[in-house]
Structure 1
């Protein structure tokens, strides 16, 4: 059987736990369940293999901006990383390796996109419908979809009239040869600063449309030597020590982001000096220099972005876009620039991760209606009115300073302990109490009001456009989050008992079976 062949027929399934997504979140959840002896679960993945964002994002130059020794599972270090910051193909291969090594492949159902999930109070089940109209059921639903999975497109008048090629960075068209083409890139975020230097070398001309410049700092990247790889293999504690050192160094940055934002002014001085060193043209440098405090928007790392933008075949356009015509883009001043292709480097819908009409909780309530001020949850995982539903990388669990894998492992531990508690106490359902969720979010947003993302003078994708609330980031140290999620806290939940006990660990992997509902 090939690695990515579905092991089970494509009919309805019944499991105790259903996981959506097989990136770091969904795969980490599946591995933890397996390690805990819980085998009655299924993982739905809309793509043809594991990897999540590291499978679907494959644009030129795609790489991680957290050091590879830390951007990996703590239980599965990789001594063979090629660089300090791993490129996308290596991270994808790492996740494929983990899926195979930890025996979760039989639980995976690829090419299965989930369209809706509806809670049945009478049955104590989630009814999950895929894109083929097949209905699956599970007692517990875990979302590992991630916050950066739905591409965001700007509202550009006339884009439908464009006769050339258009695509988003997440759906990079590798069959379209950019060599010698006139290309417009819209957006200057984390993806664009990676692919712009790669395509600049071959295109005839590149118009780079920038709405707000990012703060960019040097990328301390280098190749990892063969001697270092051998050392990590022979003496694993050396790599563990390096991982700990990187974690401590990155964690210290939380002081400037959320504890005392005034510290960020010192780092900003270094970033300003970096722009001066790399961009000699004063007019271009002025356009590339942000007018907000560093850290308010995502801080980006690159050594080749400023040199690429400074090349004669690149024009930085900051006046905005009025419309797109059949063969060109018209800026706000009425200047039309002819282009063959438009590439959207406009990121993702992080503040609206779940569209309307997808998740329905108790009494048929749409999840979107439970979020009038934007997404919120208890510890980023549980939502009142939606029993037995858990999010990994849920609201306010994102980071501006450290590795998301650390947060993912923290939430995975919390959800696993919740499942163990349900099994041990013979519970039919758990649902976070509204008061507990409210207290948690009031405390969280009180801290966010003092953080750099609020006081830094910018409008970022971290902030929900309607409420102005930061619904994306965790306002503090990651170790604080880990302490708060180390154990499931049943006192914050409404617990409903089941009628008949059933163990999570007594099921055969991949088998269709009735979930514990009575």
Structure 2
């Protein structure tokens, strides 16, 4: 089975994984290591890496230390920086695919549009955009959170005469096309903190439109020296120590958002970073107003510095409309622009429902999740037998790679049980899902920072917090190691 697909086909297999990002790759590796060879990974893009392959915007890099953004079973890769760039992460994931022998399982340029469960055959039928059909006993959704980008509903956006580029659709090209142009960036969150300082030197003038100020922590933008690389190469404990330290720091930063002393200590680090802005008025406008933890934390030691440039302007008056030649704000001013960049993020609350998934009795996943996505352990939901998810509802937080490894281990364990015991259907019990999610929402409700208005990034349109996990990575891992077979209704092929 090659890494590139051809014409429409129908293929039967034990397991189909949707998505060849970090989670899908990890799952394929663990499935093969568990002795399950009949695995197909369907990836809509032309390469592996998921969001890291698809996003190309200038300055894109990881905001988790490289040592922690690595698989625990693949720590000897030679990284260039403490915080890897997009290109380095894609290179790492390509290396993982080859080292652990799963490239033959991956089908690139295969965009899954639907998946339907059939009770009679106890199989999932997965259909791609070219009409290819994949029949599987177990379906694993590894599409993550970042699939559909947000285009803001700004009046007149379609009347702008210049180019409008969302950061998720940035062209794979150098920055020469921005030379001498008046560029407007809408947004000051995750992608903007990386785009703004990277493109500022290449524009004629850069105007940044801020709706909400954010907490931006300092970040090491340097590279490893040759001596650093040598010591990391010859002594694995150096990398392991860096990984452990990064995990501790991440937990210390966000594990207890109700601890006022701890959050004040962390907030001081972000505010010291803000002090690099020389203009007092600009500095005050960038000062975060939401409680620490209410928004996604950001890392950059270059973002604030960009506002010290004479050719960078911050605008905080709300946008009222886009005109043919610029952006008008509530104060009546029109800000001329030749190019608009939308740094407005993703619909992070949809998860696997970006695919038309239909389970038992014709139940559509997007309908079942109408009030907000939920799942048992963030991985499986009633009415959808033999279906599991990675980076699903309420699993965001902490080291995502560690969490993906935890989820892959759990899913592989359940998949082995299904295949080795000739199980037709394994479906989590409704009362188990309900009880688990009632507890999750109660624990989320106890985190004060997630109850304020600034926490909209974490919420479905209904208002339910659907992205955040109220447990540490260690606590969550422990929960997934409990014997929970009784949480499922198991139907055997031969009941006798």
TM-score, shorter chain, exceeding 0.5: yes
Deviation, structure 1 residue 265:
2.6
Q: Is the 8 A contact 1:116 1:358 kept in 2?
A: yes
**Equivalent position of 1:480 in the other structure:** 475
Q: Within 1, Cα distance between the matches of 2:222 and 2:290?
A: 30
Summarize the Cα distance change of 1:387–1:146 in structure 2 as closer, same or farther, 3 Å threshold: same
Residues 448-484 of structure 1 deviation map (CA, whole Å, 9 limit, x = unaligned): 1121432455233112232x22100111211011111
Residues 143-202 of structure 1 deviation map (CA, whole Å, 9 limit, x = unaligned): 111112221111111111111111111211244711111111111111110010011111
**Equivalent position of 1:514 in the other structure:** none
Q: Within 1, Cα distance between the matches of 2:483 and 2:310?
A: 57
**Equivalent position of 2:237 in the other structure:** 237
Summarize the Cα distance change of 1:424–1:13 in structure 2 as closer, same or farther, 3 Å threshold: closer
Deviation, structure 1 residue 101:
1.2
Matched residue SS, 2:256 = helix
Deviation, structure 1 residue 251:
1.9
Name which of structure 1's ranges 490-499 and 347-356 shifts more when overlaid on structure 2.
347-356
Q: Within 2, Cα distance between the matches of 1:311 and 1:436?
A: 56
**1:454 matched to 2:412:** no
Task: Provide the aligned length of Structure 1 versus Structure 2.
Answer: 494
Provide the alpha-carbon RMSD of the alignment.
2.0
Matched residue SS, 1:13 = strand
Name which of structure 1's ranges 416-425 and 83-92 shifts more when overlaid on structure 2.
416-425
Q: Is the 8 A contact 1:294 1:456 kept in 2?
A: no
Q: Within 2, Cα distance between the matches of 1:79 and 1:137?
A: 36
**Equivalent position of 1:126 in the other structure:** 124
**Equivalent position of 1:512 in the other structure:** none
Q: Within 2, Cα distance between the matches of 1:23 and 1:357?
A: 16
Matched residue SS, 1:396 = coil
Could you tell me the TM-score, scaled by structure 2's length?
0.95
**Equivalent position of 2:488 in the other structure:** 493
**1:430 matched to 2:426:** yes
**Equivalent position of 2:205 in the other structure:** 205
**Equivalent position of 1:515 in the other structure:** none
Q: Within 2, Cα distance between the matches of 1:432 and 1:296?
A: 32
The one of 292, 300, 304 equivalent to 2:298 is 300
Q: How does 1:296-445 map to 2 (within 5 A)?
A: 296-355=294-353, 358-399=356-397, 402-445=398-441
Deviation, structure 1 residue 298:
1.2
* Long gaps (5+) in structure 2: none
Name which of structure 1's ranges 194-203 and 324-333 shifts more when overlaid on structure 2.
324-333
Q: How does 1:4-15 map to 2 (within 5 A)?
A: 5-6=3-4, 10-15=8-13
**Equivalent position of 1:260 in the other structure:** 259
Matched residue SS, 1:223 = coil
Q: Within 1, Cα distance between the matches of 2:349 and 2:3?
A: 34
Matched residue SS, 1:191 = helix
Could you tell me the TM-score, scaled by structure 1's length?
0.91
**1:271 matched to 2:270:** yes
Matched residue SS, 1:241 = helix
Q: Within 1, Cα distance between the matches of 2:234 and 2:413?
A: 34
Q: Within 2, Cα distance between the matches of 1:376 and 1:301?
A: 29
Q: Within 1, Cα distance between the matches of 2:6 and 2:211?
A: 48
Deviation, structure 1 residue 260:
3.0
Residues 222-279 of structure 1 deviation map (CA, whole Å, 9 limit, x = unaligned): 321222222222222332222122212222234433x53563133223322332x212
Residues 41-94 of structure 1 deviation map (CA, whole Å, 9 limit, x = unaligned): 100000111011111112111100111011010001134111111111000000
Matched residue SS, 1:479 = helix
